[in-house]
Amino acid sequence: MTRKNQFWKGMLIGAIAGGAISLLDKQTREAMKENVQKTSSKAAYIVRNPREISEKVKGTAAKIKSTYEQVSEDISFITDKVEELKELTPQVTDILKETKDSFTENENTNLIEEVLGEEEKII
C-alpha cells in the first residue's frame, strides 16, 4: 500500500476508535440513539412519500424564485429613483439658488425703500 492509502486507513480506524470510545459514556450513547432514531424516521418518511417531498422542494424553489424576482424589481426601482435624484439635484439646486436670490433681492429692495422712505420724511 502507498502512504496515502495508509493515511486514510489510519484516519478511518482512528475515527471508528474515537467513536467507540465516546460511546462508553451513557449520555453520549443515549444522545446518539435519539439522533439515529430521528434521522432514520425522517429518511423512512422521505422514502415512503417521495412525491410530497418533491412538491415541497418545488414549492420552496418557486418561493425562492419569486423572492429573487421581487428583490430584483425592488433593486431596479431603487436604482431608477437614485438616477432620477441625480438628474434632479442640479435642477433643484438651481431653483433654490434662484429663490434665495429672489428673496435676497426683495429684502434689499424693501430695505432700500424703507431707507428712502425715511429720508423723504427727513427732507
Tens digits of residue pLDDT in 62-81: 999 999 999 999 999 999 98
Amino acid at site 60: T
3-state percent helix, strand, coil for the chain, nearest multiple of 5: 95, 0, 5
Tell me what percent of the residues of the chain surpass a pLDDT of 70: 80
Which is more confidently placed, 120 or 107? 107
Q: Is the pTM of this model over 0.85?
A: no
Amino acid at site 109: T
Positive or negative, the CA dihedral 26, 30, 36, 40 is positive
Q: What is the mean pLDDT of the chain?
A: 83
In degrees and rounded to multiples of 5, residue 11 shows phi and psi of: -60, -45
C-alpha cell at 98: 434662484
